[in-house]
């Protein structure tokens, strides 16, 4: 369950990241549950290939996140909301794994770019060139 929450939070972060790229502002729909995971993560070095894979996967995840956020808002009860979250998580995991990254690496990059504006800029530039 924590893996799902972490990935879903990362997806919402990346949705905000790529929305910010166009609007120069963070997405207000960001998941408040992501806050505890934003604690000081150790700085890590990621290869350009990993950052490109992250950028590519993040763009696709941002679209999935937007689609499922709309479905989640329309869900009538907790059971339906949980079903929507699980389906979204499965699709996001598939996108991450298809990109060549594992979920832990994807999440680690997501957490690192939150704290490293230069790395965030590099990823945004990579996304723009994709």
Contact 53, 123 (CB under 8 A): no
What's this model's pTM, rounded to 2 decimal places?
0.68
In this prediction, residue 32 carries a pLDDT of 35
In this prediction, residue 44 carries a pLDDT of 73
In this prediction, residue 3 carries a pLDDT of 47
Domain positions in the chain:
2-19+56-129
Contact 64, 11 (CB under 8 A): yes
In this prediction, residue 19 carries a pLDDT of 42
Q: What is the pLDDT of residues 28-61, one digit of tens each?
A: 343 433 433 444 444 578 999 999 999 999 999 9
Residue 13 region by backbone torsions, left for phi larger than 0, else alpha for psi between -120 and 50, else beta: alpha
Segments of the chain scoring below 50 in pLDDT: 1-5, 8, 17-42
């Amino acid at each position: 369950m924590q893996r799902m929450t972490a990935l879903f939070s990362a997806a919402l972060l990346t949705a905000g990241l790529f929305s910010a790229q166009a609007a120069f502002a963070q997405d207000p729909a960001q998941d408040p549950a992501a806050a505890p995971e934003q604690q000081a993560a150790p700085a890590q070095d990621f290869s350009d290939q990993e950052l490109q894979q992250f950028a590519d996967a993040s763009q696709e995840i941002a679209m999935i996140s937007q689609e499922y956020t709309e479905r989640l808002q329309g869900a009538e009860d907790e059971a339906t909301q949980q079903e929507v979250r699980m389906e979204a998580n499965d699709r996001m995991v598939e996108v991450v794994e298809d990109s060549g990254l594992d979920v832990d690496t994807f999440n680690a990059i997501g957490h690192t770019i939150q704290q490293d504006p230069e790395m965030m800029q590099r990823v945004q530039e990579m996304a723009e060139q994709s």
